[in-house]
A and B are shown apart, each in its own frame.
Chain A
Amino acid sequence: MGVFWKSMRDNRRAWIGWTVALTAIAAMYASFYPSINNPAMADALNSFPQSVKDAFHMEDYTRPENYFAVSVFGLLIPILVAVFAISAGVKAIAGDEEAGTLDLVQAQPVSRVSLALQRFLAIIVALVAIAAVMCLVVIALRGPGQFTALSPGRLFAICLQLALFGLLFAALAFGVGAWTGRRLYAIAAGAAAAVLGYLGDSFFTQIDSLKWTEKFSPFDWYLGGEPLKHGVQWEHAGLLLGFAVLFVAAGTWRYNQRDIAV
């Protein structure tokens, strides 16, 4: 497990920074809830055209689950989680390889598969930590933020789906990086999935011929089943987890076969 602990140690500052920043953003949005939850705001919101409201998933903000689904967990947090996950996934193999520092570690008595999996395990731990801290802080804010109508179980559900959503992007960037050894390809794959996934879940849904894309969007698997209203969406969670496992397995398999670039 030496590689795992070294990964944790090398990344501890950055990962703690991400945890603090993401939690702070979530806490900030959550503590705005009392000022959003008033009739004037509801009227203002109702004046938006329906298509805009659909695209941004705007609904009645007097119910906290609607506000939280759009603001806290709707856009900034998942996008930042995806950015974090992609950068961590890229760095694990491809970034190290392009920096020329992977050679030294793979010249040690650690198998390729073990190195790859230990490094990915460290990313899993980071994502779980981010989601867990965020979840606990938001739950703690239920009283002061006047959104006790939102149960801790529902908040847990969305944080779990958020962690799995991050896991998918981490696995994609990690897998492409491990397969190719190229940072650029890994970043491109992650960014393309994030952008297309977002469009597929928002603007494409306005175009009838593109409505089907929603079903393939990681954003839909994360938020589409409205975990804040209905709890954990196991089918969506399964899709996120399943693809993550597939990407990590494929990347690791190929990494074990191929040459390490100089």
Chain B
Amino acid sequence: MADTPAIQAEALVKRYGRGGTTALKGLDLTVAAGEVFGFLGPNGAGKSTTIRILLDLIRPTSGSVRVLGVEPRTAPGLRARTGYLAGDFVAGSRQTGRELLTYLGDLRGGVPAQRIRQLASTWDLDLDKRIGNLSKGNRQKLGVIQAFMHRPPLLILDEPTSGLDPFLQQQFVALVREAAGNGQTVFMSSHVMGEVQQTCDRVGIIRSGSLVAVEHIDDLRKRALRKIEVHFDSDAPALSAAGISDVVVDGNVLRCKLSGDADALVKALAQYHVVDLISEEPELEELFFTYYQYQEA
């Protein structure tokens, strides 16, 4: 089982209606068991279409798909082993959160009430309120809880933190990390680069219905430009070393951008009196923008 990919899609094509738009144009995707996979791309690129196919809410026009080793189409029981959360979580507004969670739990073969209580208290959610009376953020919390409560081997999350404030987004990151620590696989589409950077092992970028790149987050991080600020005890020298660019000298301070290895820069700095050295965590956002913008070209 360990060798079975959590998700495997081959040449997946999805056309809506006769002669309608083609949302997926031969998507190939493999997500290994136990990894946290970020699924990124501009709006309308086919992220939700892919996710809805994984859940058998829609059917591919052609191509094959396997989730946890089985075809979603032929095995409704598979969905007891997945947790799904859509970005705009909606559920019947007249029931309470507890009624909904109990119902969904029962459909999946039962979730202990204790587990539901514990998640609700961690997320500070009143389960006795009717869903219609919950704010958008609180509804989304309910969505998070229902997706994670039965500890499924595979979590399929479609822009899971939309509507959550930054604090809750951080709490969500912790929940994903905990799931990953338990060996659960997470497949997540997102526009929030911070949470992708903090959780994902690999990211796939989808553009106009096909996957254009799959990268390890560490590799991306290495390639991303890192902002460097060096403070000297006297006027900053006009430095040049491998990997640095955009050098700006401002009195005692030198600012530049560094890509890749820092070794050359550090060796070049060694001959000066360095008061302070600030290196910012690389922002992947800019890197993604280059992928995103490619689309318009």
Chain A residues in the interface with B (C-beta under 8 A): 2-3, 6, 9-10, 99-101, 103-112, 114, 257-260, 262
Q: How far is the CA of A101 from the CA of B95 in the complex (A)?
A: 12
**B77 at the A interface (CB under 8 A):** yes
Q: With A99-B90, A108-B108 given, is the CB distance from A260 to B58 under 8 Å?
A: yes
Cross-chain contact A103 with B58 (CB below 8 angstroms): no
Cross-chain contact A109 with B78 (CB below 8 angstroms): yes
CB within 8 Å of A: which of B195-236? Answer: none
- Chain B residues with CB below 8 A from A108, complex form: 79-80, 104, 107-108
Size category of the B interface is 20 to 34
- Chain B residues with CB below 8 A from A107, complex form: 55, 57, 79, 82, 84
Residue from A106, A257, A258 with most neighbouring chain B CB atoms (10 Å): A106
Chain B residue nearest to A258 (CB atoms) is: B59
- Chain A residues with CB below 8 A from B116, complex form: none
Chain B residues in the interface with A (C-beta under 8 A): 16, 48, 52, 55-59, 76-80, 82, 84, 86, 88-92, 94-95, 99, 103-104, 106-109, 146
- Chain A residues with CB below 8 A from B82, complex form: 107
Extra 14 A-B pairs, beta carbons < 8 Å, given A107-B55, A107-B57: A2-B103, A9-B99, A99-B92, A100-B88, A100-B90, A104-B86, A104-B89, A104-B90, A106-B55, A106-B56, A108-B79, A108-B80, A109-B78, A114-B76
Q: How far is the CA of A262 from the CA of B87 in the complex (A)?
A: 12
Q: With A109-B80, A109-B108, A259-B59 given, is the CB distance from A104 to B91 under 8 Å?
A: yes
8 Å CB contact of B76 from A2, A10, A111: A111
Q: How far is the CA of A6 from the CA of B100 in the complex (A)?
A: 10
9 smallest beta-carbon distances between A and B, as pairs: A259-B58, A109-B80, A111-B76, A108-B107, A107-B84, A109-B79, A100-B90, A260-B57, A107-B55
Chain A residue nearest to B77 (CB atoms) is: A109
Q: How far is the CA of A213 from the CA of B277 in the complex (A)?
A: 91
Q: How far is the CA of A259 from the CA of B52 in the complex (A)?
A: 9
Q: Give the shortest distance, in Å, between B52 (CB) and chain A (any CB).
A: 8
Chain A residue nearest to B80 (CB atoms) is: A109
Cross-chain contact B104 with A10 (CB below 8 angstroms): no
Chain A residue nearest to B54 (CB atoms) is: A107
Q: How far is the CA of A187 from the CA of B253 in the complex (A)?
A: 73
- Chain B residues with CB below 8 A from A104, complex form: 84, 86, 89-91, 104, 146
Q: How far is the CA of A258 from the CA of B56 in the complex (A)?
A: 10
Q: How far is the CA of A35 from the CA of B109 in the complex (A)?
A: 59
Cross-chain contact B90 with A101 (CB below 8 angstroms): yes
Chain A residue nearest to B74 (CB atoms) is: A111
Q: Give the shortest distance, in Å, between B83 (CB) and chain A (any CB).
A: 9
8 Å CB contact of A101 from B57, B76, B92: B92
Chain B residue nearest to A13 (CB atoms) is: B94
- Chain A residues with CB below 8 A from B95, complex form: 10
- Chain B residues with CB below 8 A from A10, complex form: 92, 94-95
Cross-chain contact A109 with B76 (CB below 8 angstroms): yes
Q: Give the shortest distance, in Å, between A252 (CB) and chain B (any CB).
A: 14
Q: Give the shortest distance, in Å, between B50 (CB) and chain A (any CB).
A: 13
Q: How far is the CA of A236 from the CA of B52 in the complex (A)?
A: 44
Cross-chain contact B107 with A110 (CB below 8 angstroms): yes
Chain B residue nearest to A9 (CB atoms) is: B99
Chain B residue nearest to A100 (CB atoms) is: B90
- Chain B residues with CB below 8 A from A103, complex form: 52, 57, 86, 90
- Chain A residues with CB below 8 A from B94, complex form: 10
Cross-chain contact B79 with A101 (CB below 8 angstroms): no
Residue from B52, B80, B89 with most neighbouring chain A CB atoms (10 Å): B52
